[in-house]
Structure 1
Amino acid sequence: MKFPEKPLQVEHFNEPLLEFAYAQRSPHPKDGLFLYGPHAKAKRTHEIRVGVVGTSDGIAHFRTWARKLKSIIPVPPPGKGEKVDRLHLANFPGLEEAFGISFDPDECSALSIQLRDIDRATRIFNLNEAVDKVARLYIDRVEQHRRNDERSVDVWVLVLPDIVYERCRSQSKRTGLAMELGDFKKRQKTKENLPLLSAMGAIDQSDEAIFEDVPDFHRRIKAEFLRIGPTQLVRETTLAPGAFLNQANYPTRKTQDAATVAWNLATGLYYKTQPKPPWRLADVRPGVCYIGMVYKSLPNDPDGHACCAAQMFLNEGDGVVFRGANGPWKTGDYEYHLKAPAAKDLLELVLKTYTEEHGGPPKELFIHGQTYFNDEEWNAFVAAAPKNTNVVGVRIRSTGGETKLFRDGDYPVLRGTALLLDDQTAYLWTTGYVPQLDTYIGPETPNPLHVTVMRSKKKIKPKIETVLQDIMGLTKINYNSCNFNDGLPVTVRFARMVGDVLTMGSAKGEKRQPFKFYV
């Protein structure tokens, strides 16, 4: 690309701080939780109610893993030739010690599914039907429990055999399996017209809703449980890698070390069962709201329509997903733009929720998107906002290898480095070398985000430095793991995942729903 003729300006933004219990601060979630506990820590240990669904072996693996959560889980000793000082790893101190929550593994609502039933369902010839059958095995067991057991469940843990992961995704090949036709029958067609498919038992999909969805187990479960409650999906091989060995006596798949798995899954359990997330951003300007726009083409839609949604995040970190209208929003290969009524309705729903929670509208509302904002949708956004609320449109795009910056000529740049191109445009490295961890965690030289302040309701746009500092903070509130940071801000990172769930025909959630239901 062609850079401006004036000298380039390079800035560095300090690592955003997180807030934990007793208003204590730390840049690292693990350090803050280890030393202080979650920022909304209760005075007493809170017992959570967990439901676990899986095979008998899967349930046993979960209970064994849950018992380990009660005590310290150390990081493994370094391998041969590995650095001893691995600051990006941390011992897990115990669920109660780090998060102030607990549960009895033997008192969980345990719902068992036969492995043979899962295996047989995954072999159904039509992948849509196979995914539906496997998902229904889990969903029906939960529904049966809800009808017959008065005990409520805070979070459902679905323990999956690896055959579900391998055979129940849209790209699953399922080669070498003995296949079955399943329950759906084709409408009678003459062999002269369709001899091969007739012989194979082709399926007439015209009247079946499941064939409108993408055949993906994860998406199907998340969509179905929007009306039930939060879920945590975990593979058996993640919980018990030593129980699944190959012929050379090594685990069949490489997993994270046990301490890291414990940190991540425990963070998810806390986030999905408590009213407040485990940490929040410490330094956020008051009255600021961030929303990420979500667009996703509807599968098999003859009119080419797409769904739209908005994710709202505040300094507390927790998010809300707002479902918008379906419509002809796709205007190009990678461009989506709302019509004025849909844009106005969606933003009014966001603002209403903010006002209900804070007693008034936000001072600033930043809309993060991966495309530009056209006149029609932007004017509708501005019209929906109160007079004193400034609306700012920011485009955030990942880049490839076209722009690189090195430290001392050879080393990755520091995370937080920014190359300012002009008053409204910059490259921001949200990945890179982190001094506190003494490492750069990544397979290649880090690539920056390209950030542009596209529009502003007020004539004077906010400074690019302010926008970049905000984005840095938003890379640290992914509560589905306990990482030091993500490469994308939360407003953008989960846009595809949220869209994937919302496009499912089984997504029967409300127009306004907690973000924790989607991850």
Structure 2
Amino acid sequence: MIEFPETSLQIIHIDEPELEFAYGQTFDHPKDGLFLYGPEGKLSRKEVKLGVIGTSEGISEFKAWSNRLNEGVAVPAAASRDKNVRLHLSDFPGLTEAFSIKIDPDSFTEYHLTAQEIDEATSIENGHEAVAKTASLFVDLIIRHLNQEEERVDVWVLVLPELIHKRCRPEAIKRRASGELTPGDFNKKQRARADLPLFIDDPILAGEVIFDDIPDFHRQIKAKLLTVGEVCQLVRETTLSPGKFLNRAGNPIRGVQDPASISWNLATALYYKSQATPPWKISGMREGVCYIGLVFKLLPNHKDNHACCAAQMFLSEGDGVVFRGANGPWMTKEKEFHLSKEAAINLIQTVLTTYRDKFGGNPKELFIHGKTKFSQEEWEAFSEAAPSETNIVAVRIRPTFGDVKLFREGDYPCIRGTAMVLGKSDAFLWTSGYVPRIDTYMGPETPNPISVTVLRSTNEPPEIEVVLRDILNLTKINYNASNYSDSLPVTIRFADKVGDVLVMGSAQDAERQPFKFYV
């Protein structure tokens, strides 16, 4: 830790966390560590078996991209000549070289959908039914494979035509023009939810199911596969071949990353979702410490605005598990979420039981991260659930939006890891900022810090610098990509995505599941 000259406020700098890779080797950048040393931990399987679902054109594009993943992808020549750009990018050396795994495009399990099938499903007049039918095109094939085939699939890759992205999102449902749409089964049988017949043969329409899922293709796919224990990776056709999808001016209809960066992110996700352990972990992470991010999300169509609660648990190794808590009236008049004492006790006890099953004892410290303060009833529950040897620490973490700015001399803003300590329990932490390692700041304007407050603890509270260091560590374990870091710790960053999946009617029976099922 570096201390700057004393001012009216204490400004400190927390060193960039090191990541651990194969053979106990460390590096601060996931891409460099993987390239030099390979992934941390023992491989579950070297050859990863993929199942691919999409149109014939989409599957063909993904197979071509898979060959590139095996061979390696260089940074574009123009970027290589530009030193300022080159620092941001890294050549992708190939799946075997970086991750010690391989995929064989000739042995993919393939299921083909026609453009007509997708067009007919996405153009159904009722938006809920349109998304449910479209998602079922993919999910039904996966379930049929599980029921009828013995061949194992490690990760399902869904290659999505742009039509799905255009028509199967909540924003698109709101903008639907009736002149372009066709009646679906629901429209033919019933116009209003209240008039549903007593018996309907179609399981999608029966029991009002189509209304219990938000009309969002991505969320419905994750929720439906969560209940059958299958992981998937969604890839848009425009990501694989942007040059084939042009607007009237002859330009790609959407901007995408350079091919090397896409390869890194796709390979990282495939590794994470196919192996028992993540590709890297934080080096020197404090042992016996558990981190929980609380998740709250309003249930769709609930007349009393009940919410779903869940906990994301992350251990010293970095990987996470999601626990579904109780649904209930958790939103207050102030639009904040707070659990009842009984629900809070049950949730924490579930987390502690899982920790004991894995490590044979209770954690030394259990940090609960949230965006709001915890109520007295919640804190009493946390304290009651905590064993005597476990110090439960409640921490509020909130993004700031221009309230606080810190400037430094030079061409770039303050260094990532800079903190302004306001007291024993409060600080601002800059999780984004200038990164000496890549000699740049990856942002459009002067970065904003996150606000960190240690609210309470059952035993002696940890020093604020220890809390800040842990939070900075947790910004480097996003295994759905290979970024240098994120601006929020993983306990907070993915809260909305986890909640988005759990509130779906399709996921109502989902229990404890690894974090990889949600991203």
TM, length-normalised to structure 1: 0.93
Report the counterpart of residue 181 of structure 1 in structure 2. 183
Q: Which moved more, 1:6-15 or 1:312-321?
A: 6-15
Alpha-carbon shift at residue 77 of structure 1 (Å): 2.4
8 A contact 2:15–2:417 mirrored in 1: yes
The secondary structure found in structure 1 opposite 2:300 is coil
Report the counterpart of residue 499 of structure 1 in structure 2. 499
Report the counterpart of residue 4 of structure 2 in structure 1. none
Paired AA for residue 513 in structure 2: Q
In the TM superposition, 1:376-415 aligns within 5 A as: 376-408=377-409, 411-415=412-416
Q: Which moved more, 1:277-286 or 1:82-91?
A: 82-91
Pair 1:430 & 2:431 matched: yes
The secondary structure found in structure 2 opposite 1:475 is helix
RMSD value over aligned CA atoms? 1.9
- C-alpha distance 205-50 of structure 1, shift in aligned 2 (>3 A): farther
Q: Which moved more, 1:256-265 or 1:328-337?
A: 328-337
Paired AA for residue 409 in structure 2: D
Q: What per-residue deviation string (whole Å, max 9, x for no partner) do you get for residues 316-337 of structure 1?
A: 1110000000001111454111
In the TM superposition, 1:70-219 aligns within 5 A as: 70-78=70-78, 83-84=83-84, 86-172=86-172, 173-175=175-177, 178-185=180-187, 207-219=207-219
8 A contact 2:295–2:499 mirrored in 1: yes
Q: Which moved more, 1:172-181 or 1:8-17?
A: 172-181
Alpha-carbon shift at residue 205 of structure 1 (Å): 6.9
Paired AA for residue 140 in structure 2: D
Alpha-carbon shift at residue 147 of structure 1 (Å): 2.2
Alpha-carbon shift at residue 175 of structure 1 (Å): 4.4
Report the counterpart of residue 57 of structure 1 in structure 2. 57
- C-alpha distance 83-513 of structure 1, shift in aligned 2 (>3 A): same
Q: Which moved more, 1:240-249 or 1:253-262?
A: 240-249
Report the counterpart of residue 272 of structure 1 in structure 2. 273
Report the counterpart of residue 319 of structure 1 in structure 2. 320
8 A contact 2:45–2:275 mirrored in 1: no
Distance (whole Å) between structure 2 residues aligned to residue 205 and residue 138 of structure 1: 29
Paired AA for residue 221 in structure 1: I
Q: What per-residue deviation string (whole Å, max 9, x for no partner) do you get for residues 33-84 of structure 1?
A: 0000001144x97011111111111110110000111112101123699545
Q: What per-residue deviation string (whole Å, max 9, x for no partner) do you get for residues 244-293 of structure 1?
A: 23344332211000000000000000000000000000011110000100
The secondary structure found in structure 2 opposite 1:412 is coil
- Which structure dedicates a bigger proportion of its chain to helix? 2
Alpha-carbon shift at residue 148 of structure 1 (Å): 2.1
Report the counterpart of residue 301 of structure 2 in structure 1. 300
Alpha-carbon shift at residue 483 of structure 1 (Å): 0.1
Alpha-carbon shift at residue 508 of structure 1 (Å): 4.7
Q: What per-residue deviation string (whole Å, max 9, x for no partner) do you get for residues 339-397 of structure 1?
A: 01110011001000001101101000000000101111111111111110000000000
8 A contact 1:160–1:235 mirrored in 2: yes
8 A contact 1:39–1:279 mirrored in 2: yes
8 A contact 1:184–1:203 mirrored in 2: no
Alpha-carbon shift at residue 26 of structure 1 (Å): 0.3
Alpha-carbon shift at residue 461 of structure 1 (Å): 1.3
Distance (whole Å) between structure 1 residues aligned to residue 276 and residue 508 of structure 2: 22
Paired AA for residue 263 in structure 1: W
Distance (whole Å) between structure 2 residues aligned to residue 482 and residue 359 of structure 1: 32
The secondary structure found in structure 2 opposite 1:406 is coil
Alpha-carbon shift at residue 401 of structure 1 (Å): 1.0
- The gaps in structure 2 that reach 5 residues or longer are 1-6, 197-206
8 A contact 1:430–1:486 mirrored in 2: yes
Distance (whole Å) between structure 1 residues aligned to residue 402 and residue 322 of structure 2: 33
Q: What per-residue deviation string (whole Å, max 9, x for no partner) do you get for residues 185-243 of structure 1?
A: 4778xxxxxxxxxxxx6665755221122110000000000123111011011111222
Paired AA for residue 78 in structure 2: P
8 A contact 1:78–1:84 mirrored in 2: no
Paired AA for residue 441 in structure 1: M
Alpha-carbon shift at residue 176 of structure 1 (Å): 8.4
8 A contact 1:41–1:99 mirrored in 2: no
Report the counterpart of residue 417 of structure 1 in structure 2. 418
In the TM superposition, 1:221-236 aligns within 5 A as: 221-228=221-228, 229-236=230-237
Q: What per-residue deviation string (whole Å, max 9, x for no partner) do you get for residues 295-319 of structure 1?
A: 0010110111100000000121110
Give the aligned length.
500
8 A contact 2:125–2:178 mirrored in 1: no
Alpha-carbon shift at residue 120 of structure 1 (Å): 1.5
Q: Which moved more, 1:119-128 or 1:345-354?
A: 119-128
